[in-house]
Structure 1
Amino acid sequence: MDARLIQAAQIGSIEDLHELLRENPLILHTVNLFSIGNPLHIASASGHDGFVMEITRLKPEFTKELNRDGFNPMHMAAANGHLEVVRELLKVDRGLSCLEGREKKTPLHYAAIKGRVDEIIEMLMSSPECIGHVTIQGETALHLAIKNSKVEAARVLVDWVREMKNESVLNLKDEQGNTVIELLLGWGSTHSSLEVNAINQSGLTALDLLQIFPSKAGDLEIAEILQRNGARRARDLTASQMPTIEYQNQFSNIPTTPERPQSHPRNLLEYFKFKKGRDSPSEARTVLLLVASLVATSTFQMGLSPPGGTWQDNYVPDQNKATSTDEAHVAGTSILATSDRVSFLLFALFNSIGFVVSFHD
């Protein structure tokens, strides 16, 4: 590459570029014949957005070329935090955020490694699908942000995953088999700012929230990871394990009233009543299904074997014996129905209602 073209790109001089073009109109067309990079790489790394805009107007194909280190101009702009250059390059091709270089790393990967939050947001707005791209080591941008302790970048990426409802990204594993949850917990073991038993304003831990608000997939694996790292339900935490300072400060202005004995009937009713925030919907659902199953089983069984049993034979009273008080009956019919029809009808009615209601929830 002409030394003067290199210098023009380094200082971002559009005038020098035009002067070179007047001298040699083909100078940009011969760059790739003699160089392992192009002036757009240099200008992008230096953050000269005006020069970048002019070069991309003249040679837009420069945006996709890789230099000898496996970087395209977008890689260099994103890694170095040149937001305006990133914007100019995206005007040429919105897909540049996902363009792979060495080790299949995209510009989004390098922005995550360096913690370039503004550049991350700009690229995700342009190409949301980039968040699922993985390197040759199976790492997403979120993996790389966590591994490089870029907390703000990781937060932005997690928020974006939630906004796009693309939680499957959180379950992707790198070549060591680590999900981002495992990396976060591993990172937290050496960074005291991450507490797996931290309690929110509702008095719930991460494990509580996972069970109260289940997602479609990955809950069991995440729960196991949390528990391996000491996560507990809020109700299972001892006084020494619970971060009481933050919890008490959040509720210090709430007036307290003496508790009544738990044996009081009104307290028993309150105790067994479902309360949002205290009880897990998934656990309540499990209990209801269990109760419904028991009711269905018992009512069905009672229908097959009513109280008093069933007659085992057929009987027709002898009409010639005036003293006979036995009722006629047929084998398999209820003895109670023969001796007390009203009681049997009441039993059959309520048993049938219980059986039918057990199927409705």
Structure 2
Amino acid sequence: MDLRLYEVCETGNFTAFQGLIEEDKFILREVMPLSGDTCLHVTARFGHATIAGEILNLRPDMAHAVNHEGLTPMHLAAANGCREVYELLLRTNPGKLCFLRDRDGRTPVHYVAMNGDYSMFSSAMVLCPQSTTSLTDKGETVLLLCAKYNKFEFLNVLISFPQDKESVIDLIHVPDNHGNTLIHLAKVAGQHAVSGPFWLGAEPVQGLFAQVWVGPKPALCGQGEARARTQTQTQPAAGPKVELVTYMESRANTEDQTRPPNDRSVEDLQSQSQRNQNQPENRDKAEKDGHFQEQWLEGIKSSRGTTSVVAALIATASFAAGISPPGGVNSDGAAAGTATRAHTAAFKVFAVVNGLALLLSLTILILDIVVIPYRPGPLTKLAVMTRRILWAAVAMLLVAFMAAAWIVMPHVGAHGWVAWCLMSLGLLVFFLLVFCLIAMTRFLSDTTIPSCSSDTSEPSGFAVVAELNRRKEYSATQLA
């Protein structure tokens, strides 16, 4: 994707966006090489509804585009809480967009439940009520996702005052693929309070909640009069025994802390990674790792810039020395314009190594300007390759200087020692460069380079920082 297009979609500069469209009408076809995000994905993530609406006017099909993780722009808008973009996409094609799933089988409505936004959930219930009852690949309902991501206030609103109460109440007793229900998840949460009574099945659940009554179970989709009997402080009539559980303030169950890891009755409700994320020490470690990764990426970018500057200087010096050879040129006769010392061995060495220095430095510039920004590939490998070429160019420039000094300096007489001194210093610097190169190679081989993502390959070019920020923002949204 063009860096200018990404920046416009990130900042929401509508004027600049229109300018890019006028400049290249096919620019909207570009995607990010690593993530597969389109410009609508980026716009939905940062919540710029104006640009999103213009993209949908130009390319309505982009609303259905999925990236490499199976996420649509509507998924990203729901995960990041961008209501305007979410509702804009929802009105585009609610019958299809609400049912598109990612790799885990989650629809945009599931991400709304994980984010705990009742306004966005209400919009989905009005335009596409069937989407609120869909299940993930793990059999999770929107209520189970609310409990797993600690959105209990949002869960209270759904249970107490939903716009379509029947469709939500029906989901209370639906278990996931591991048999976990909303009641079990509330037990794991412990410290959270969930108001409103729940009718349980015939099988009792002992010791989980504050108040338990025995009475008849009303039809879940029946009339409001049947549900009115479930209000607190009202004694139900005698009949078949089932449990009505109401809990206002739950406490953490200490048995969960001592339960063995192999007992999955509770461990399946919240993964260990989610629990570790909530611990302060693990959060600090994650922040330090992320800061270290950012520093490493900034170092890679700074190294690329420095390498390009040095390569440009070497190319300039080599070109100037090539057209103005040491010892000057002949000014008359048949040999006019040729080097006066071209017949010497030192000049021949100078011409060869000076040409090599020029070619190597130009190779670095071509790689950095043409190849690296527009070709996906491991950024570290490209940086190591350009660094080695730079070392070779510096060595060739040093040898060229030594040969030129040998040509122009006197070899005998009172000043003969100067040429030998320059040659000795040049050889000393050359061997010092070789020693530094070997030391740096061993140092880098013993250093663990941080990984920016779970992918085996690294991002390349100008998209590396933008891609890292995108993944960090998306991960933070998922864990929120």
TM-score class, shorter: 0.5 to 0.7
Partner of 1:120: 121
Is 1:168 aligned with 2:170?
Answer: yes
- Structure 1 residue 41: deviation in Å? 0.6
- SS for the counterpart of 1:76 is helix
Is 1:232 aligned with 2:217?
Answer: no
Quick one: higher RCO (CA 8 Å, sep 6+), 1 or 2? 2
Residues 161 and 121 of structure 1: CA distance in aligned 2, closer, same or farther (over 3 Å) = closer
Give distance in 2, aligned partners of 1:171 and 1:66: 32
Partner of 2:46: 46
- Structure 1 residue 176: deviation in Å? 1.8
Residues 165 and 101 of structure 1: CA distance in aligned 2, closer, same or farther (over 3 Å) = closer
Partner of 1:151: 152
Residues 165 and 4 of structure 1: CA distance in aligned 2, closer, same or farther (over 3 Å) = closer
Residues 79 and 225 of structure 1: CA distance in aligned 2, closer, same or farther (over 3 Å) = same
Moved over 6 A (4+): 32-35
Residues 161 and 191 of structure 1: CA distance in aligned 2, closer, same or farther (over 3 Å) = farther
In structure 1, give the amino acid aligned to 2:88: E
**Per-residue displacement from partner, 1:25-61 (whole Å, max 9, x unpaired)?**
2222454899811111111111101111111111111
TM-score (norm 1): 0.54
Give distance in 2, aligned partners of 1:53 and 1:111: 21
Residues 45 and 278 of structure 1: CA distance in aligned 2, closer, same or farther (over 3 Å) = closer
Residues 117 and 48 of structure 1: CA distance in aligned 2, closer, same or farther (over 3 Å) = same
Give distance in 1, aligned partners of 2:214 and 2:173: 25
In structure 2, give the amino acid aligned to 1:41: H
Give distance in 2, aligned partners of 1:161 and 1:225: 29
In structure 2, give the amino acid aligned to 1:57: N
Residues 7 and 138 of structure 1: CA distance in aligned 2, closer, same or farther (over 3 Å) = same
Partner of 1:220: 202
Give distance in 2, aligned partners of 1:156 and 1:112: 12
* Conserved 8 A contact 2:156-2:194: no
* Conserved 8 A contact 1:117-1:152: no
Partner of 1:280: 237
Give distance in 2, aligned partners of 1:72 and 1:134: 18
Partner of 2:89: 89
In structure 2, give the amino acid aligned to 1:101: D
* Conserved 8 A contact 1:142-1:180: yes
* Conserved 8 A contact 1:8-1:16: yes
Aligned length: 223
Is 1:57 aligned with 2:57?
Answer: yes
In structure 2, give the amino acid aligned to 1:111: V
Over alpha carbons, which structure has the higher Rg?
1
Structure 2 portions without partners, runs of 5+: 216-231, 241-480
- SS for the counterpart of 1:98 is coil
- Structure 1 residue 175: deviation in Å? 2.1
Residues 279 and 127 of structure 1: CA distance in aligned 2, closer, same or farther (over 3 Å) = closer
Residues 33 and 176 of structure 1: CA distance in aligned 2, closer, same or farther (over 3 Å) = closer
In structure 1, give the amino acid aligned to 2:205: I
1:167-206 pair list within 5 angstroms: 167-187=169-189, 190-191=190-191, 193=193
Give distance in 2, aligned partners of 1:34 and 1:193: 42
Give distance in 1, aligned partners of 2:213 and 2:15: 66
Structure 1 portions without partners, runs of 5+: 201-205, 211-217, 236-249, 252-276, 284-361
**Per-residue displacement from partner, 1:99-153 (whole Å, max 9, x unpaired)?**
2112011111112112222222222222111122111211111101011110122
Residues 21 and 35 of structure 1: CA distance in aligned 2, closer, same or farther (over 3 Å) = farther
Give distance in 2, aligned partners of 1:110 and 1:146: 13
Give distance in 1, aligned partners of 2:104 and 2:20: 36
- Structure 1 residue 178: deviation in Å? 1.1
In structure 1, give the amino acid aligned to 2:202: L
Cα RMSD after superposing both structures: 3.3
TM-score (norm 2): 0.42
Residues 165 and 131 of structure 1: CA distance in aligned 2, closer, same or farther (over 3 Å) = closer
In structure 1, give the amino acid aligned to 2:92: V
* Conserved 8 A contact 2:147-2:155: yes
Is 1:142 aligned with 2:143?
Answer: yes
Give distance in 1, aligned partners of 2:152 and 2:34: 42
- Structure 1 residue 72: deviation in Å? 1.0
* Conserved 8 A contact 2:30-2:38: no
Is 1:6 aligned with 2:10?
Answer: no
Partner of 2:389: none
In structure 1, give the amino acid aligned to 2:177: E
**Per-residue displacement from partner, 1:147-166 (whole Å, max 9, x unpaired)?**
11101221233243862355
In structure 2, give the amino acid aligned to 1:172: V
Residues 94 and 279 of structure 1: CA distance in aligned 2, closer, same or farther (over 3 Å) = closer
Residues 194 and 122 of structure 1: CA distance in aligned 2, closer, same or farther (over 3 Å) = closer
Partner of 1:106: 107
Give distance in 2, aligned partners of 1:178 and 1:135: 14
Residues 85 and 139 of structure 1: CA distance in aligned 2, closer, same or farther (over 3 Å) = same
In structure 1, give the amino acid aligned to 2:93: D
